[in-house]
Structure 1
Amino acid sequence: MKLYTSVGPNPRVVKMFMAEKGLDIERVEVDLRAGENRQEAYLKVNPGGQTPALVLDDGSLVSEITAICEYLEERQPNPPLVGSTPEERGATRMWVRRVDLKICEPLANGFRFAEGLPMFQSRMLCVPEAAPGLKAMAQDGLKWLDSQVSGPFIAGERFTLADILLFGFLDFGAMVGQPLDPANTKVAAWFERVKARPSAAASA
């Protein structure tokens, strides 16, 4: 297998997932800032023009971070980061979906349409006037999540893909003008727990 990766929160999620699994997969760095991901050579690898992208041994492609992580989980079930039972997998997928829709997507687009506009405006449809609202949506999602956290991790007692996904985007948000509001005390404490994991440093 070969992982095409770059800077940014999306590749970081996969790299942190791999670190938790102890997986060593060949990596190819794509220069996102220079737009290499939108050039013909990379588009032959991933027509979506996004990173990360996992090319399997048979040459087929798995793209999108949750799909890549789910694939790796099936290839190497331990330690389980999605789940070992249908109930655990269902709970993890529920929280991944909630975190993605309520926090990660609005946070990322809030950046792309504002601070990241000079880099992204020639690559995708950008709506600069939506940026403040998107950032507010991400903060509202975090406030909601803070009211829902009932254990050491997002899904309760288990460390899962939901934790990795949220951590990758919140750590990125802190660098691009969308820091975590310390009033969200449960999420703030959770963030420090995840930040202390070796995989957080290994994927940075």
Structure 2
Amino acid sequence: MKLYTYDPAPNPRRLQLFLDYKGIEVDTVQIDMLKQQQFEETFRKINPMCTVPALVLDDGTVLTEVIGACVYLDEVFPERPLMGSTPLEKAQVISWNHRLYNSLFHAIAEVFRNGNPAFANRALPGPMEIAQIPQLVERGKQRMEGAWRMMDRALARQPFLAGEHFTFADIDLLVCIDFARWIKESVPEECSHIQAWLPRARAAVEQ
């Protein structure tokens, strides 16, 4: 396998934390997004969507979505499962990943990409030029408020997002918390259950 990635970016970090937790070593090529290498022809041939990460399997198959790569890797490398061990756990993990990505991750991205002059005409990832919509900055911040509280309510009932075990859903929340710093935002102080979860989750990824 070969992984095309850019370590500082949130989506690549989701996959890298997954790989690190499971102890999977992959040949890695850095695609410098600051230099816009994701748009160069050599990378377009690998991933026409011009996004990272892109995981190239031994048979040449290219997985360009983080969730797809993680589902595949969890099956091929079953030790230390992160996508759930039972049908119900798997459904809960995928549900939380979807919920997190569509609420919190997208909300932060709305603020970041629509409020940063460096992303003029690049308001969405990919090969198309998409104009910024400044109003989405405020909407993104409002969406974040609701998303933080949704996560906090879930963590009031159980030690990790999807239940009793650390999963990829927790990795996604960790990445969202760090991504929020890019727009100078953080977990609200009143979200005490996220605050209590944070050291547990960081300890899990450092094991």
TM normalised by structure 1 equals 0.91
- Which amino acid counterpart does residue 192 of structure 1 have in structure 2? P
Query: Alpha-carbon deviation of 1:119?
Result: 3.4
Aligned equivalents of 2:97, 2:27: Cα separation in 1: 26
What SS does the corresponding residue of 1:45 show, helix, strand or coil? coil
What SS does the corresponding residue of 1:180 show, helix, strand or coil? coil
1:140 matched to 2:140? The reply is: no
Q: Deviations over 1:82-121 (max 9, x none)?
A: 0121111011111111111121111122211113x41353
**Of residues 192, 197, 201 in structure 2, which corresponds to 1:185?**
192
CA gap 1:157/1:36 in 2 versus in 1, 3 angstroms:
same
Query: Alpha-carbon deviation of 1:184?
Result: 0.7
- Which amino acid counterpart does residue 39 of structure 1 have in structure 2? E
Segment drifting more, 123-132 vs 157-166: 123-132
Unaligned runs of 5+ in 2: 123-127
For 2:201, the equivalent position in structure 1 comes to 194
8 Å Cα contact 1:135/1:178 also seen in 2: no
8 Å Cα contact 2:108/2:183 also seen in 1: no
- Count, aligned residues: 199
For 2:118, the equivalent position in structure 1 comes to 118
CA gap 1:120/1:178 in 2 versus in 1, 3 angstroms:
farther
8 Å Cα contact 1:170/1:179 also seen in 2: yes
Aligned equivalents of 1:199, 1:105: Cα separation in 2: 26
CA gap 1:199/1:51 in 2 versus in 1, 3 angstroms:
farther
- Which amino acid counterpart does residue 25 of structure 2 have in structure 1? D
Aligned equivalents of 1:188, 1:140: Cα separation in 2: 16
Unaligned runs of 5+ in 1: none
Query: Alpha-carbon deviation of 1:124?
Result: 4.0
8 Å Cα contact 2:108/2:179 also seen in 1: no
Q: Deviations over 1:141-186 (max 9, x none)?
A: 1112212221221112111110011111211212331211111111
TM normalised by structure 2 equals 0.90
**RMSD, aligned α-carbons:** 1.6
CA gap 1:120/1:33 in 2 versus in 1, 3 angstroms:
farther
8 Å Cα contact 1:102/1:137 also seen in 2: yes
For 2:4, the equivalent position in structure 1 comes to 4
1:128 matched to 2:134? The reply is: yes
**Of residues 171, 179, 189 in structure 2, which corresponds to 1:172?**
179
For 1:72, the equivalent position in structure 2 comes to 73
Aligned equivalents of 1:54, 1:84: Cα separation in 2: 23
Aligned equivalents of 1:57, 1:187: Cα separation in 2: 39
**Structure of greater relative contact order (alpha carbons < 8 Å, 6+ residues apart):** 1
8 Å Cα contact 1:110/1:131 also seen in 2: yes
What SS does the corresponding residue of 2:115 show, helix, strand or coil? coil
Aligned equivalents of 1:70, 1:88: Cα separation in 2: 13
For 2:125, the equivalent position in structure 1 comes to none
